[in-house]
Amino acid sequence: MSIGVICRMNQARSIFVEGVLTKNFPELDFFSSGVQAVSGSAAIDGVEELAKVWEIELTKKRSSTIQEDISEILEAELIICAEMAYEPAIRLLGYSGKVLNFEQLVNDSFFMPLDPEGLNVDKFKRELAKAAAISIKAVRSHLGLSFANPIKVVTPNSATDSNLALAHAVMEANISNAILVDADFRAPNLSEIKEQGLEVIEFDIKNFDRLPIESITNQQILTHQYQINHPGQILLAPIFTTFLQRLTQVRPVVLLTAPRYTNSLRLSDSYIFSAYTDMISVISA
Q: Which CATH class is domain 151-283?
A: alpha beta
Q: Are strands 151-156 and 253-256 parallel, antiparallel or unpaired?
A: parallel
Side-chain half-sphere exposure of 158, counting CA atoms within 13 A: 6
Distance CA 190, CA 93 (A): 55
Please indicate whether the domains covering 2-143 and 151-283 agree at the CATH topology level. Answer: yes
pLDDT per residue, tens digit, the chain (285 aa), is: 899 999 999 999 999 999 999 999 999 999 999 999 999 999 999 999 999 999 999 999 999 999 999 999 999 999 999 999 999 999 999 999 999 999 999 988 888 999 998 999 999 999 999 999 999 999 999 999 999 999 999 999 999 999 999 999 999 999 999 999 999 999 878 888 989 999 999 999 988 888 888 999 999 999 999 999 999 999 999 999 999 999 999 999 999 999 999 888 899 999 999 999 999 999 998
Beta-bridge mates of residue 42: 62
Q: Where are the domains of the chain?
A: 2-143, 151-283
Output the CA–CA distances (angstroms, integers) from residue 257 to 19, 66, 154, in the order listed. Answer: 24, 38, 6
Single pTM value for the model: 0.95
| DSSP letters for 225-251 | SS--S-THHHHTSHHHHHHHHHHHTTS
Q: Residue 224: left (phi > 0), alpha (psi -120 to 50), or beta?
A: beta
Alpha helices by DSSP H, the chain: 13-24, 47-53, 70-75, 87-92, 102-105, 121-143, 162-176, 190-195, 232-235, 238-248, 269-272
CATH number for the domain formed by residue range(s) 2-143: 3.40.50.2300
Q: Do the beta carbons of residue 162 and residue 257 sit within 8 Å?
A: no
Q: How far apart are the first and last CA of the chain?
A: 46
